[in-house]
Amino acid sequence: MEYRTIEEWCEILDSQRIPITAKNRIEGPYPYYGANGIQDYVNDYIFDDELVLLAEDGGNFGSKDRPIAYRVSGKCWVNNHAHVLKPKKGLDVDYLCYSLMFYNTNGLVNGATRQKLTQSTMRTMKIPCLEINEQQEIVQRIKKIESILNDLNGQLELLDELIKARFVEMFGDPVHSEKYGTRKLSSCVAEKSDMVDGPFGSQVNTKVDYIENGEIPVIRTVNVKMMSFSPTDLKYMTREKYETVIRSQVLPGDVILTKVGTIGNVCIFPNAFDEAVLSTTGSCRIRVDNSVVNTQFFAYNLMYLKGKLLEIASAGVQPFLNMNHVKNIDILDVPLEKQKEFADFVKEVDKSRSRIQKSLEASQELFDSLMQEYFG
């Protein structure tokens, strides 16, 4: 396979970039791009072309599912955190983008806290050299799989909306419900130990105690998405270390709520794991008393309160939910039978979700294999 460098195959338009500080941006219709996509919208543009933006610093370097390059088309503004590439004759712009999206940047980026891909290094990055018609054939194959992925993700989003609509239909607005009263979250657990946060920083040395492979998964806030648990970039610890922080144990069916950073994300820990442990005080584990409240109902109720939780957390200098905040969250006081009716509805929807998820995983595997085959 013959290769050409970016310098050989692209016009590099970095010198035309102009950063604008947030306070100096004037709102408008044109996207303002940075390393990882649109950062804002402004009232003017400096580019009007078919381009590829490649992260310079602050990009998703090393990620297997978050790209470091993306396509832009038409009028836009780009700051100095993304390299601006315009393909020369003979190079398809989409082919260029796909070739760079998940480029192996090992040994190419530098910087301990904020990695950077310098322009001089970027110029040497190599792209498989094919005839334009071959490039376009590859692009069409990849786009076809992307279309399937987008469709499947859209179906999952519709199922999420269906569940949310059903919740409101049955119980009203969880923040200002006229159908039901409320009870404090602390009354939804049987024991004080059923509601705990993660270990304090002094108890865990993340550089030593977090390992890539081990017996016990460590749940960080990045793993807690809204109503789903993401095992991406999951860390582990030894069972020996786990025994010292077992107070923060998480079991399947436990509810996890984030208290710092992305505040208010909530999910139910899945049955795919036997046990795990919270990483830090950035999240808490709630083991609800099922004689009082249904877990599915409880989790969805919390999900609807995210805006309220953000308000509470933002009252201090550093946005943060402490455990007293969590204990005093108002949960709808709904008869258990009605809660179970909602949970049964979720269970039926989840059957459809499972089928779609399997198709999504198979399609993603095909996409990944094509990207590997064509771009290494």
The domain ranges of the chain are 3-129, 181-333
Could you say which DSSP state residue 191 is in? S
Domains 3-129 and 181-333 share a fold: yes
Digit-by-digit pLDDT tens for the chain (376 residues) are 899 999 999 999 999 999 999 999 999 999 999 999 999 999 999 999 999 999 999 889 988 888 999 999 999 999 999 999 999 999 999 999 999 999 999 999 988 778 999 999 999 999 999 999 999 999 999 999 999 999 999 999 999 999 999 999 999 988 888 889 999 999 999 999 999 999 987 788 888 899 988 899 999 999 999 999 999 889 999 999 999 999 999 999 999 999 998 899 999 999 999 999 999 889 999 999 999 999 999 999 999 999 999 998 887 677 899 999 999 999 999 999 999 999 999 999 999 999 999 999 999 999 999 999 999 8
On whether the CB atoms of residues 77 and 45 are closer than 8 A, the answer is yes
Q: Give the pLDDT of residue 65.
A: 83
Integer CA distances (angstroms), 73 to 30, 37, 143, 234, 291, in order: 11, 13, 17, 36, 56
CATH architecture for residues 3-129: Alpha-Beta Complex (3.90)
Q: Give the pLDDT of residue 113.
A: 74
What residues form DSSP beta bridges with 249? 277
Q: For the domain 181-333, what is the CATH superfamily, name and number?
A: DNA methylase specificity domains (3.90.220.20)
Q: Give the pLDDT of residue 321.
A: 93
Q: Give the pLDDT of residue 254.
A: 98
Tokens standing for 300? 């969805």
CA angle 272, 363, 142 (to 5 degrees): 145
- Residue 251 region by backbone torsions, left for phi larger than 0, else alpha for psi between -120 and 50, else beta: beta
